[in-house]
Structure 1
Amino acid sequence: MNIDFHSHVIPKTFVSAIETDSARVKARIDGQGETRRIVHDQGYVYPLFREFVEVDAKLAAMDRKGIDVSVLSPAPPTFSYWADGSLAVELNRLVNDGLADMVSASPERLRGMGIIPMQHPEAAIDELERVVRVHGFKAVEIGTGIEGAKLSEPRFQPVLRRAQELGVFVFLHPYYVGNKTGLEDYYLTNLVGNPLETALAIADLMFSGTLDRLPSLKIGVAHGGGFLPYQIGRLVHGHKVRSETHARSASSPLDLLRRFYFDSVVFEPQALSFLIGLVGADRVFLGTDAPFDMGDETPLTTLASVEGLSEAQRGQVAAATARSLLQE
């Protein structure tokens, strides 16, 4: 079995909300048919592929890639961290309910990963509990940052603690809806910016003591952990020689890195080999990041190209890690 734990959708409920009141949702839909795209007021534009909204298109893409089961997560712009109060709750609920409808259309092949309004922590806890109770979700997806706020901030700790108590897997994904300063050219906002955002989030959770305070939290990161796994030696050295880095956590950054789970979306087999060797196959799961253009269209080929893996390790990455997180 092959399980894709990083596969995006944009439920029809969210699309309908844009079409009904674009000013309220701060987005609009341009074009018709295959040329449709979502344009966010904050500047992010992307095609509205059928695979985002249609279950049959998602299943067809899975068949093409050799994927048996996909864990569907809403595309990050649906997080709507800009929204206040009741609107934030409304948008997150309609996305989660729409996602649940997609899963119910093919329950043998699809699983759900909800979103929660992190900018309003009490509401985030309420929605976390609701998607677990009502939809049976075993995972939620949140941003690596919340409109510039770090996940280590005290106001977010109750949310992460409640996820720990519920045994819910928390998947960190870069969240942005516009260009980042200095990365405007050459699509660097995504190519460099996304891995950088992930690396910063991991380092902050390490050095802030957040992971020490939440020893049982199941937490994962997109895009192979960004840049951080490949510079972990620098963090370990810095933790030894700089007082700032061990002021709030005495734990080794390498030990804390192995607390995370990582997807396989790094494209380069040697990079994936290094990641598996560093954290273990039981901390890595298959991912595609579909259907974004920066997704891996041939994830099984990438995995098969990693030299030196045992069949047990390949099976772990292809499915067993995901099954443990899904509690299946």
Structure 2
Amino acid sequence: MIVDAHNHVIPKSIVDLLSSNPEPFGVTTDNSSGAARMIHRDGFAYPLFDEFVEPAEKLRQLGQRGFDKAIISPSPTLFFYRIEGSRNAEFVRRVNEEVAAFAAVDPTRMRAMGTLPMQSPEASIAELDYLVNDLGIRSVMIGCHIDGVQLAAPQFRDVLRRAEELDVFILAHPYYFGSKPGLEDYYLTNLIGNPLDTAVMAAHLIFGGVMDELPELKLCLSHAGGFLPYQIGRLVHGWNVRREAKTTTASPKDLLRRFYFDTITHDSAALGYLIDFAGEQHVLLGTDLPFDMADVTPVSTLRGVKGLSEEAFALISGGNAMRLIGA
């Protein structure tokens, strides 16, 4: 079974809601070029592909690309952590219900992943309960930081603890926020900025004690863990020689292996290293579709890993994802 565990949607009703109410979200829809685009006041824009908004097109694309299932999540461009908490909580509830309805068009091929209004920890805990108890969803996607505040900050600990208690799988995803000096050119905001955000978040979760405190937390790092798996030796060395980094009795390498990772490396050799590092039970097939930075042939990338067993292929290509979301 081939399962895309990292696949995004923006249901049409959400597009309509944002277009008809540009404040406080700051999103408009532009059709002047003949193809719809969503434009955010933060300065970024992207094509509003039919695959984002139409279940039938999503299903057609899944079939065309050879996927049996997809775990569909709200686009990270719908993280509105800057707006007032109760307003965002209302919006997130609507998003979660619409993503659930999107997936319900064909529940044999699509499973829904929700999101949380993270700037309001109390509302996020309530939303976790609603997702699990009312919508039957045991997975969420949240940002790598919350309006610039790290996920490891104390105010978010109860949210992560509740996710652990409910056995909810978390996919942490970068998103555009503010300026990134030095990354303005060549699309480096995404090419380097996104994996950097993931690496910084995971380092804070490791050194901040979260992974020690919540040993059963199921948290997946987007884009193959960013830069961290490939520079973990540097963190271990710092942990050994620097007082500032000696915050945990466990090695950062051991704690990093507690995370899960998607396969989005765009390189079979890098993916092979990740699988060797994290273990075949901690890696999930992902694409990031329909964004332009997606790996549209993830099975080929996975098949290109030298020495990969059929058992490992089965786990990574679908078995791990279905286990982690409680399917």
Post-superposition Cα deviations, 1:194-250, rounded to whole Å, max 9, x if no partner, equal 00000001111001111111111111110000000001111111111111111x311
SS at structure 2 position matched to 1:186: coil
Report the counterpart of residue 297 of structure 2 in structure 1: 298
- Of residues 82-91 and 291-300 in structure 1, the stretch that sits farther from structure 2 once superposed is 82-91
- Of residues 157-166 and 83-92 in structure 1, the stretch that sits farther from structure 2 once superposed is 83-92
Task: Report how many aligned residue pairs link the two structures.
Answer: 327
Cα distance, 1:324 vs structure 2: 1.3
Report the counterpart of residue 216 of structure 2 in structure 1: 216
Report the counterpart of residue 190 of structure 1 in structure 2: 190
Post-superposition Cα deviations, 1:123-153, rounded to whole Å, max 9, x if no partner, equal 1111111111111111011100011001111
Report the counterpart of residue 112 of structure 2 in structure 1: 112
Alignment of 1:156-175 (within 5 A): 156-175=156-175
* Distance (whole Å) between structure 1 residues aligned to residue 134 and residue 279 of structure 2: 34
* Distance (whole Å) between structure 2 residues aligned to residue 97 and residue 232 of structure 1: 39
- Of residues 187-196 and 5-14 in structure 1, the stretch that sits farther from structure 2 once superposed is 5-14
Post-superposition Cα deviations, 1:4-54, rounded to whole Å, max 9, x if no partner, equal 100000122321111221123211000169611111111121111101011
Alignment of 1:1-12 (within 5 A): 1-12=1-12
SS at structure 2 position matched to 1:136: coil
Cα distance, 1:180 vs structure 2: 2.0
* Distance (whole Å) between structure 1 residues aligned to residue 22 and residue 31 of structure 2: 15
Report the counterpart of residue 322 of structure 1 in structure 2: 321
Report the counterpart of residue 13 of structure 1 in structure 2: 13
Report the counterpart of residue 250 of structure 1 in structure 2: 249
Letter of the aligned partner of 2:283 in structure 1?
Answer: V
Letter of the aligned partner of 1:283 in structure 2?
Answer: H
* Distance (whole Å) between structure 1 residues aligned to residue 34 and residue 181 of structure 2: 31
- Of residues 293-302 and 34-43 in structure 1, the stretch that sits farther from structure 2 once superposed is 34-43
Report the counterpart of residue 281 of structure 2 in structure 1: 282
* Distance (whole Å) between structure 2 residues aligned to residue 73 and residue 177 of structure 1: 19
Report the counterpart of residue 204 of structure 1 in structure 2: 204
* Distance (whole Å) between structure 2 residues aligned to residue 143 and residue 89 of structure 1: 15
* Distance (whole Å) between structure 1 residues aligned to residue 25 and residue 270 of structure 2: 39
Q: TM-score, normalised by structure 2?
A: 0.98
Report the counterpart of residue 79 of structure 1 in structure 2: 79
* Distance (whole Å) between structure 2 residues aligned to residue 26 and residue 177 of structure 1: 13
- Of residues 176-185 and 90-99 in structure 1, the stretch that sits farther from structure 2 once superposed is 176-185
Letter of the aligned partner of 2:19 in structure 1?
Answer: E
Letter of the aligned partner of 2:9 in structure 1?
Answer: V
Letter of the aligned partner of 2:237 in structure 1?
Answer: H
Cα distance, 1:65 vs structure 2: 1.5
Alignment of 1:53-72 (within 5 A): 53-72=53-72
* Structure 1 residues 88 and 217: CA distance shift in structure 2, 3 A: same
SS at structure 1 position matched to 2:142: strand
* Distance (whole Å) between structure 1 residues aligned to residue 326 and residue 93 of structure 2: 24
Report the counterpart of residue 269 of structure 2 in structure 1: 270
Alignment of 1:89-100 (within 5 A): 89-100=89-100
* Distance (whole Å) between structure 2 residues aligned to residue 249 and residue 157 of structure 1: 17
Letter of the aligned partner of 2:235 in structure 1?
Answer: L
Report the counterpart of residue 154 of structure 2 in structure 1: 154
Long gaps (5+) in structure 2: none
Task: Confirm or deny: 8 A CA contact 1:77 1:177 kept in the other structure.
Answer: no
**Identity value in percent:** 48
Report the counterpart of residue 121 of structure 2 in structure 1: 121
- Of residues 318-327 and 193-202 in structure 1, the stretch that sits farther from structure 2 once superposed is 318-327
* Distance (whole Å) between structure 1 residues aligned to residue 57 and residue 96 of structure 2: 19
Task: Confirm or deny: 8 A CA contact 1:13 1:94 kept in the other structure.
Answer: no
Matched, 1:228 2:263: no
Q: TM-score, normalised by structure 1?
A: 0.97
RMSD across aligned positions (CA): 1.2
* Structure 1 residues 323 and 66: CA distance shift in structure 2, 3 A: same
Task: Confirm or deny: 8 A CA contact 2:86 2:120 kept in the other structure.
Answer: no
* Distance (whole Å) between structure 1 residues aligned to residue 9 and residue 322 of structure 2: 20
Task: Confirm or deny: 8 A CA contact 1:8 1:52 kept in the other structure.
Answer: yes
* Distance (whole Å) between structure 2 residues aligned to residue 49 and residue 34 of structure 1: 12
Task: Confirm or deny: 8 A CA contact 1:17 1:25 kept in the other structure.
Answer: no
Task: Confirm or deny: 8 A CA contact 1:220 1:260 kept in the other structure.
Answer: yes
Segments ≥4 residues shifted beyond 3 Å? none
Post-superposition Cα deviations, 1:259-287, rounded to whole Å, max 9, x if no partner, equal 10000010100000000001111000000
